[in-house]
Amino acid sequence: MPLPTLQVVTCSTRPGRLGPAVASWFIDRAIADGRFTVEAVDLAAVDLPLLDEPHHPILANYQHDHTKAWSESVSRADAFVFVMPEYNYSFTGATKNAIDFLHHEWKFKPIGFVSYGGVAAGTRAVQALKLVVSAVSMMPVSESVNIPFFSKHIDAEGVFHAPEGLDASATTMLESVARWSDALATLRAPAG
């Protein structure tokens, strides 16, 4: 039986962003964990415009190629981990926009969070986003990876070096995402 697909989504799209370094570390951890087939998704590369579909996402009547491609990508996943910064006590606009483009594609899929920032380590952004993902019937897991003062752990070559304890937090979160993915699999199965 094939492994479930985990998409690790880099949520920051800002020029000069450091999120890809954190995402790269987590992707390596998720691959080493061995519970998933891991796919990297970068919202900067997905490059969605501000929601421009004429029909409500619940209808899945997509008019634009970028939406159709995004739908195919999200549909392929069984679970997600969003690697996300905190901007002004919340998540990025690009993250909300990416979620709002779709509806059915998100349903019954677990989501974990790797957040980073200053002293709050992105935790306020995670709490705010849990409400949004719950509205599209995703299952936010309670375990997360939160990285305070993350930029201190990125070297001159742009590589993130996880501080002590972070690998264990990642393993705990991946275990929870895997368990929820298994538990929700029958709900994700096509009807009929």
pLDDT tens sequence across 53-105: 999 999 999 999 999 999 999 999 999 999 999 999 999 999 999 999 999 99
- Give the domain CATH number at 150: 3.40.50.360
Task: Give the confidence band of 192 by pLDDT, cuts at 50, 70, 90.
Answer: low
> Which residue segment(s) compose the domain that 109 sits in?
5-188
Domains in the chain: how many in total? 1
pLDDT tens sequence across 90-148: 999 999 999 999 999 999 999 999 999 999 999 999 999 999 999 999 999 999 999 99
The distance in angstroms from the start CA to the end CA of the chain is 21
The pLDDT of residue 189:
79
pLDDT > 90 fraction of the chain, expressed in percent and rounded: 97
Q: Which residues of 90-104 are buried (b: 16+ CB within 10 A; e: fewer)?
A: bbbebbbbbbbbbbe
Tell me how far apart the alpha carbons of residues 167 and 2 are, in angstroms, rounded to a whole number: 25
Q: Is the pLDDT of residue 22 over 70?
A: yes
pLDDT > 70 fraction of the chain, expressed in percent and rounded: 99
The pLDDT of residue 1:
76
What average pLDDT score do residues 22-47 get? 98
